[in-house]
A = this chain, B = another copy of it.
């Protein structure tokens, strides 16, 4: 410093209290003091982890679970734009955590870390953001994962819709585990972990678009513990996939294409809650195409099907698990359904849009 006179270094650091009844303003996205304030006062109380506390633009974390250093990473990303932000059974925060936890889990891997990127609309109530963060915190705790990196951007009023959340996830796939949409084999059994269409109808109901109060709650849930139980019981599981956007029918079509296989569903076996069925009939929807956020399709060799089913039924998120179909011995990339009246029809992918902004 040579002999220069230093300014007073101990002065107050420009206090800027951020209160719960405040609104997000453009300055919260500046990268300066207001961003820091938002992070320290609003984000950190909910989303805290050692890597986030370190305050770098990156998180430093171990690359594996302690018991297995030979495996691979599973990586996934999802942006969430659901409207409204809160709906029976969940909200955008729970959706953002569970959606990515589930995508990672579908690899047969163990989800470990999440990143969270927020796009906030100017004028958003800080209290709304806090509710979303609290929900992310509790969902992350339930799943047993850490949120290790985050980012916040703010756009002008009218340039976004309140709040969008992107989550990316990283998990660890133990050595030798090969699960994927291309692994379905002729003779395999198709299981579903519970009733279908709950999420889509719950969100629609929250929008007031049903014209009546449907008593349907979203199924949004982290499925990693359920998947763990399935893989303990049925270690040769071939495919795990959650039927989200596009519903069960679209997801099975994707698997049929990837595995170069035909899948036959039994309509009578497909579990649909009466309230969901009623709402779908009124709206002209088919529950087979309505989104789920807490269900998994499990495709297993026939000799492990019963074990997988029993393992799921022991858990809350799998208590309604049933066998719904089988993989046929033909390379046609199609999904067929044996209907209630005894015929067989092709179930195509969802074409066009049915329920926008459901996740």
Asked whether A180 and B54 contact (CB < 8 A) given A73-B63, A332-B10, A356-B154, the answer is: yes
- With beta carbons under 8 angstroms apart, the residue of B59, B64, B346 that contacts A76 is B59
In Å, the complex CA distance between A328 and B151 comes to 31
B81-A153 in contact (CB<8A): yes
A350 to B244, alpha carbons, bound, how many Å? 42
Q: Across the interface, name the chain B residue whose C-beta is closest to A291.
A: B31
Task: Indicate if the CB atoms of A352 and B27 lie closer than 8 Å.
Answer: yes
In the assembled complex, which residues on chain B have CB atoms less than 8 Å from the CB atom of A72?
Answer: 60-63
Within 8 A of B (CB), among A141-161: 148-151, 153-156, 158-161
- Contacts A60-B72, A81-B153: A32 and B352 contacting too (C-beta < 8 A)? yes
**By the criterion CB–CB under 8 Å, are B75 and A349 in contact?**
no
Bound-state CA distance A34–B334 (Å) is 17
Q: Which of A106-159 contact B (CB under 8 A)?
A: 106-107, 109, 113, 115-119, 148-151, 153-156, 158-159
Known: A30-B353, A254-B55, A353-B27. A9 touches B117 (CB 8 A): no
CA distance in complex: A338, B154 (Å): 34
Over the window 325-351 of chain A, the binary record of Cβ atoms lying under 8 Å from chain B Cβ atoms (1 yes, 0 no) is 000101010101010000111101111
Chain B residues within 8 Å of A172, by CB: 63
Which residue of B has the minimal Cβ distance to A344?
B4
Q: Which residues of A line the B interface, CB within 8 A?
A: 1, 4-7, 9-11, 14, 16, 25-27, 29-36, 51, 54-64, 69, 71-81, 103-104, 106-107, 109, 113, 115-119, 148-151, 153-156, 158-161, 164, 166, 168, 170-173, 180-182, 241-242, 244-246, 250, 254, 257-258, 262, 264, 289, 291, 328, 330, 332, 334, 336, 338, 343-346, 348-354, 356-357, 359
